[in-house]
């Protein structure tokens, strides 16, 4: 443990410092693509993400609504060990937009008992995405969940 730290910092108790050079989100996935510029353009067209900051063409910070992620240059082959979940307003319209832009749709939007409508897609490089639309506020215990700290 680092000197001076007696416990992990809970970002809900202590606000994060602002730094315009870093996305304002507490969790920032980094996805690798061979050509970050092309990836940013494609992800914007297919999924509606926007560029926040460009660092040359080797690293691009993106916005997904109020969420953030970073595109970094690299040739790592994506696999299904990671799925990026993004909340959307209309899963059916979003799915169609993604399909028209060339995303490979794994499954069409489906309504789930926990109050979400979701679909899954692969992007052009093979990253796996889950897009979820809230359709109802459902008590977790009604579908088998256990509320812990809501």
93 found inside a domain: yes
- Asked whether residue 1 is domain-assigned, the answer is no
- Per-residue pLDDT, averaged over 61-84, amounts to 94
Q: Which domain holds residue 45?
A: 30-73+82-143
What CATH number is given to the structural domain containing 48? 3.10.180.10
Predicted TM-score of the model (pTM): 0.88
Q: Which of 147, 146, 121 is nearest to 132 (CA)?
A: 121
Burial 78-87 (b: 16+ CB within 10 A, else e): eeeeeebebb
Confidence at residue 11, expressed as pLDDT on a 0 to 100 scale: 54
> In 10 A of CB 124, how many CB atoms?
15
Over residues 120-132, the pLDDT tens digits come to 999 999 999 999 9
92 domain residue, yes or no: yes
Q: Is residue 3 part of a domain?
A: no
pLDDT surpassing 60 at residue 4: no
Q: How distant is the alpha carbon of residue 67 from its chain centre?
A: 7
Instruction: Count Cβ atoms below 10 Å from residue 101 Cβ, excluding itself.
Output: 17
Q: What is the mean pLDDT of the segment spanning 109-113?
A: 98
Instruction: Judge whether 35 lies within some domain.
Output: yes
Orientation of helix 36-47 relative to helix 91-100, angle to 10°: 130
Query: Is residue 17 situated within a structural domain?
Result: no
Question: What confidence tens digit (pLDDT) does each residue in 45-68 have?
Answer: 999 999 999 999 899 999 999 999
Whether 4 maps to a domain, the answer reads no
> Which residue intervals of the chain are DSSP H helices?
36-47, 91-100
What proportion of the chain, given as a percentage, has pLDDT over 90? 83
* Mean pLDDT, the chain, whole residue set: 92
pLDDT at position 3 over 80 = no
3-state secondary structure of 94: helix
Number of domains the chain contains: 1
What are 29-48's pLDDT values in tens digits?
A: 999 999 999 999 999 999 99
**95 found inside a domain:** yes
Return the structure tokens found at 94: 């979003």
């Amino acid at each position: 443990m680092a000197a001076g730290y007696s416990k992990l910092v809970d970002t809900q108790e202590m606000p994060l410092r602002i730094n315009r050079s870093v996305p304002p989100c507490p969790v920032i996935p980094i996805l690798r693509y061979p050509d970050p510029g092309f990836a940013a353009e494609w992800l914007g067209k297919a999924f509606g993400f926007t560029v926040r900051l460009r660092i040359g063409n080797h690293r691009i910070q993106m916005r997904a609504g109020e969420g953030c992620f970073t595109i970094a240059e690299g040739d790592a082959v994506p696999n299904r060990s990671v799925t990026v979940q993004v909340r959307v307003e209309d899963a059916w319209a979003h799915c169609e937009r993604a399909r028209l832009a060339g995303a490979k749709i794994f499954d069409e939007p489906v309504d789930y008992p926990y109050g979400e409508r979701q679909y899954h897609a692969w992007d052009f490089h093979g990253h796996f995405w889950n897009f979820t639309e809230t359709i109802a506020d459902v008590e977790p215990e009604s579908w088998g969940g256990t509320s812990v700290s809501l």
